[in-house]
Chains A and B, each alone.
Chain A
């Protein structure tokens, strides 16, 4: 049984296998940002309250500041950079919630935005979008992240907008 100060971890980040050798104390948020260069994930409090650093671990939203990089060895991580999908024509197809945030002015400084986008995208992808989203669902999806700019009104609006577009993809 090895007890280590440093480890090499293999993480599939946004579909791409990545490897990094990190001290075991390295937070996942720092590993993503500084070891793997994915700075879309932001660090707002480092004690798990603000949610700016939220990423998807095997599809589930988690605080990357409350995980050690070594704990996701072998797991799959999705960051805000990975929410868009290839459109098959060499371009990128944004996740509906990314489009909705732009359409509804759901961000101002944009610092908390990645945490909202990952959390909401996972929530909408997981639900049956043929049924209308309820206010309670919206509140649950936006309720765990802090934003200082928007007052949340347009973020809630964007969630409803995204859910609607996912209901009938044109």
Chain B
């Protein structure tokens, strides 16, 4: 039993319950609750002519049916635009239930509440909705063409023109020794957590209070949204995120319509109501991400050094913009990566389409940004006949250039200033780890086996831990138990373990005594949420500060008791003692009792404490001015700006030139997230991210047809990888501490997914000699590409065909 656990691969405390079936996920709550189900639009764009519920009314077990007509007050208003931005000139959001028009397949039209989900679905089947279909817009190209519009009052389908620029890019391009331009596409994927969304609401009519459980990434914000929309006082609403079966971004959006409608029904009906999203609902009504069209023009000298970069991007934001233009901003600001770009301009047109809304999915615009920048590097190398690693090396920001100001404005409204990093180190470790210099030999060996082999790499810089803040509360109880809470939520990242490691180390207590709670507004009311790789950076540091506050107070009280100077004291194994004299000290639990002048001898701790209780100074109040009873402390961490993690991936693929199946034979990752709280957990995050990167590059896509119908709305045709499709990953770490926060940490949650599409596209291009300009790519697409006489070939393009 040690208390020095920071940085150790401590086994996860969550796993005890999660491996024995004792987790508590949303649908595990409230077996007696009524069940909600939704009638959702089968059309991508239509006017609702009539909703006929007649045939549904005699279904036994039906409790209530709600349509837009039943919404009152603020519930009848459009859903909020969470993150307004001056460049989001035409924000549009939907309603909790469709108000006259549906703009994507799956948009909720009616909510049914019944005694169980089976019956609720029976009722949905009997509700007849008559639609008058309208022209449909699918894909950025159709959106730009604007032959049809998603919103009548947005004739060009553009919700925002986002611009970031650091100088006169056109002049710089005119003056460049070399330039090249290209266009490429990325398709849609989605977070697709194994647990869908879900909401359970219980109204206490006597107490006039509402308790809501939601499978969310932002319980405090859901709480505020419910209070506002249902016009309740904030103190009457509590929201709890129970165990959450994965989020990856889709559960950060709030309020989802169901998060308002289910509590509304619970209040109206005076009964518990629960909605558990099923898989079909998740495909057609939860958020997607990634589709962009990118036009890149780059200027570079004869050595391959970039002199100017101009990126014009069209971003598909789906039918509504509740989450603003966060993804366009991130793509525009993260595109420059680890490189020196003397003059840069990014223009992102955020386009409306008649598809599910687009909000952050792990990586949030970064995979697309990395794809743009890294494929640019590949093309420069191809044009100049240089090694792709060498071209990158020549453009890297040098270690002595930090802090490095990219002169861009990040998602948090703060400047993009890289706080620290060692990109040379990354690249050196990566080329060694993957064996970059041995690729030629591997290629020859593969060709002798009748297979094509290629290698690719991609580097990234990831802004993590954006503010504005997170808070932490640490309290020592008379029992010796240490309660820790923070407002942001957990979806499997291991916060209970990582935060306990921080407190055990900071406070010098056994980790077994530490109990961590996240995402429960009853315990901590102020929080932002879990997204943008920010939990460890934000709550980790806040909790560390809170623990230090408790430590300081414990030492102060102990100093009195032990009649010693606080600076001579230490905490070891939960006991405060004079440095180097074990056995002479006072347990923290005793100090916890002493910290409260009101001390009934309810328990042993209190009885023990009395022996330490001095007479006190009768001339002073029992609780000193500025002090407070209890051995606890609340603190907040609020950074001036984000901290920038970095990494580099390399991949080697083998391709069967007969079936054009693509196999990843090696995947190497070098990762730098500053100080690691728990390397085991960090590696787990990398493994998971890489799997999603591979999925997004080779298997997953949301296949909408021109009519706005999602053609693969099931796990049969949306090809989330099984173990058989995910390669082994070799990982090396580099630790460049962040100077911005007390713990020196940077975010690690999203990194693994970012370079996958870029690196894999590069490797396939290297193996086939055909330009890969649209991702993801499947064997049939690769076959068609190889067959296409007009397909662009790379300089070393062999055009091998069998």
Asked if B687 and A151 make an inter-chain contact with CB atoms under 8 angstroms apart, the answer reads yes
Binary CB contact string for chain B from 17 to 32 against chain A (1 if under 8 A, 0 otherwise): 0111111110110010
Beyond A79-B21, A146-B194, A151-B726, is A44–B15 a contact (Cβ under 8 Å)?
no
Beyond A33-B27, A45-B715, A142-B723, is A107–B18 a contact (Cβ under 8 Å)?
yes
Asked if B492 and A143 make an inter-chain contact with CB atoms under 8 angstroms apart, the answer reads no
B435 contacts partner chain A, Cβ-Cβ < 8 Å: no
Binary CB contact string for chain A from 46 to 58 against chain B (1 if under 8 A, 0 otherwise): 1101101000000
| Nearest CB of B to A52, in Å | 6
A59 contacts partner chain B, Cβ-Cβ < 8 Å: no
Beyond A40-B20, A47-B716, A146-B720, is A108–B684 a contact (Cβ under 8 Å)?
yes
| Nearest CB of A to B558, in Å | 36
Contacting residue for B714 out of A37, A47, A92, CB 8 A:
A47
| Nearest CB of A to B175, in Å | 46
Interface size class of B (residues with CB under 8 A): 35 or more
Asked if B691 and A152 make an inter-chain contact with CB atoms under 8 angstroms apart, the answer reads yes
Which single residue of chain A is at the shortest CB-CB distance from B245?
Answer: A111
| Nearest CB of A to B669, in Å | 11
Beyond A38-B21, A154-B687, is A49–B715 a contact (Cβ under 8 Å)?
yes
Interface of B is mostly: loop
Contacting residue for B31 out of A37, A111, A154, CB 8 A:
A37
Beyond A105-B680, A111-B195, A143-B723, is A43–B27 a contact (Cβ under 8 Å)?
yes
CB neighbours of A21 from chain B (8 A): none
Contacting residue for B492 out of A25, A52, A110, CB 8 A:
A110
Asked if B691 and A108 make an inter-chain contact with CB atoms under 8 angstroms apart, the answer reads no
A10 contacts partner chain B, Cβ-Cβ < 8 Å: no
Asked if A102 and B684 make an inter-chain contact with CB atoms under 8 angstroms apart, the answer reads no
Cα of A142 to Cα of B764 in the assembled complex, Å: 28
Cα of A103 to Cα of B303 in the assembled complex, Å: 50
Asked if A102 and B19 make an inter-chain contact with CB atoms under 8 angstroms apart, the answer reads yes
Binds B, one of A67-75, A112-120, A122-130: A112-120
| Nearest CB of A to B451, in Å | 20
In this complex, which of B15, B194, B244, B494 has the most chain A Cβ atoms within 10 angstroms of its Cβ? B194
CB neighbours of A38 from chain B (8 A): 21
Binary CB contact string for chain B from 244 to 260 against chain A (1 if under 8 A, 0 otherwise): 11101000000000000
Asked if A109 and B680 make an inter-chain contact with CB atoms under 8 angstroms apart, the answer reads no
CB neighbours of A152 from chain B (8 A): 687, 691, 722-723, 726
| Nearest CB of A to B31, in Å | 5
Contacting residue for B193 out of A102, A111, A139, A144, CB 8 A:
A111
Give residues 108-145 of B contacting A (CB, 8 Å): 116, 118
Which single residue of chain B is at the shortest CB-CB distance from A102?
Answer: B15
| Nearest CB of B to A139, in Å | 6
Asked if B21 and A41 make an inter-chain contact with CB atoms under 8 angstroms apart, the answer reads yes
Asked if A102 and B688 make an inter-chain contact with CB atoms under 8 angstroms apart, the answer reads no
Cα of A153 to Cα of B491 in the assembled complex, Å: 19
| Nearest CB of A to B197, in Å | 13
In this complex, which of B31, B279, B493, B722 has the most chain A Cβ atoms within 10 angstroms of its Cβ? B722
B448 contacts partner chain A, Cβ-Cβ < 8 Å: no
CB neighbours of A163 from chain B (8 A): none
CB neighbours of B243 from chain A (8 A): 109-110
Cα of A92 to Cα of B726 in the assembled complex, Å: 35
B406 contacts partner chain A, Cβ-Cβ < 8 Å: no
CB neighbours of B18 from chain A (8 A): 107, 110, 113
| Nearest CB of B to A112, in Å | 5
A161 contacts partner chain B, Cβ-Cβ < 8 Å: no
CB neighbours of B709 from chain A (8 A): none
Asked if B246 and A111 make an inter-chain contact with CB atoms under 8 angstroms apart, the answer reads yes
Interface of A is mostly: loop
Cα of A109 to Cα of B25 in the assembled complex, Å: 10
| Nearest CB of B to A99, in Å | 8
CB neighbours of B27 from chain A (8 A): 33, 39, 43
Asked if A44 and B194 make an inter-chain contact with CB atoms under 8 angstroms apart, the answer reads yes
In this complex, which of A33, A47, A84, A110 has the most chain B Cβ atoms within 10 angstroms of its Cβ? A110
CB neighbours of B689 from chain A (8 A): 151
| Nearest CB of B to A93, in Å | 12
CB neighbours of A45 from chain B (8 A): 279, 714-715
Asked if B492 and A149 make an inter-chain contact with CB atoms under 8 angstroms apart, the answer reads yes
| Nearest CB of A to B122, in Å | 10
Asked if B23 and A110 make an inter-chain contact with CB atoms under 8 angstroms apart, the answer reads yes
| Nearest CB of A to B362, in Å | 10
Beyond A114-B21, A150-B688, is A105–B681 a contact (Cβ under 8 Å)?
yes
A156 contacts partner chain B, Cβ-Cβ < 8 Å: yes
Contacting residue for B245 out of A23, A25, A110, A156, CB 8 A:
A110
Asked if A105 and B684 make an inter-chain contact with CB atoms under 8 angstroms apart, the answer reads yes
Cα of A43 to Cα of B23 in the assembled complex, Å: 14
B219 contacts partner chain A, Cβ-Cβ < 8 Å: no
Cα of A151 to Cα of B246 in the assembled complex, Å: 13
Binary CB contact string for chain A from 82 to 93 against chain B (1 if under 8 A, 0 otherwise): 011000000010
Asked if A42 and B25 make an inter-chain contact with CB atoms under 8 angstroms apart, the answer reads yes
Cα of A26 to Cα of B220 in the assembled complex, Å: 36
Beyond A108-B493, A148-B720, A151-B688, is A39–B279 a contact (Cβ under 8 Å)?
no
Contacting residue for A154 out of B11, B491, B684, CB 8 A:
B684
Contacting residue for A34 out of B16, B31, B192, B193, CB 8 A:
B31
CB neighbours of B279 from chain A (8 A): 44-47
Asked if B20 and A94 make an inter-chain contact with CB atoms under 8 angstroms apart, the answer reads yes
Cα of A39 to Cα of B722 in the assembled complex, Å: 24
Cα of A80 to Cα of B667 in the assembled complex, Å: 33
Beyond A101-B19, A112-B194, is A49–B723 a contact (Cβ under 8 Å)?
no
Asked if B692 and A148 make an inter-chain contact with CB atoms under 8 angstroms apart, the answer reads yes
Asked if A105 and B12 make an inter-chain contact with CB atoms under 8 angstroms apart, the answer reads yes
Asked if A102 and B21 make an inter-chain contact with CB atoms under 8 angstroms apart, the answer reads no
B547 contacts partner chain A, Cβ-Cβ < 8 Å: no
Binary CB contact string for chain B from 682 to 698 against chain A (1 if under 8 A, 0 otherwise): 01100111111000000
Which single residue of chain B is at the shortest CB-CB distance from A40?
Answer: B21
Beyond A47-B714, A112-B194, is A148–B246 a contact (Cβ under 8 Å)?
yes
B781 contacts partner chain A, Cβ-Cβ < 8 Å: no
Asked if A147 and B31 make an inter-chain contact with CB atoms under 8 angstroms apart, the answer reads no
Give residues 245-290 of B contacting A (CB, 8 Å): 245-246, 248, 278-279
List the 3 closest pairs (A to B, CB-CB), nearest first: A40-B21, A109-B492, A111-B245
Q: List 10 A-B contacts (CB under 8 A).
A: A34-B116, A49-B715, A49-B716, A105-B684, A109-B194, A111-B195, A146-B722, A147-B723, A148-B194, A153-B728
17 further interface pairs, Cβ-Cβ under 8 Å (given A80-B20, A152-B722): A34-B31, A39-B24, A40-B20, A42-B194, A50-B194, A81-B21, A102-B11, A109-B193, A109-B243, A109-B244, A109-B246, A110-B492, A112-B194, A113-B18, A143-B722, A148-B194, A152-B723
Query: Which residues does A use to contact B, with CB under 8 Å?
Result: 23, 25-26, 33-34, 37-47, 49-50, 52, 79-81, 83-84, 92, 94, 98, 101-103, 105, 107-114, 117, 139, 142-156
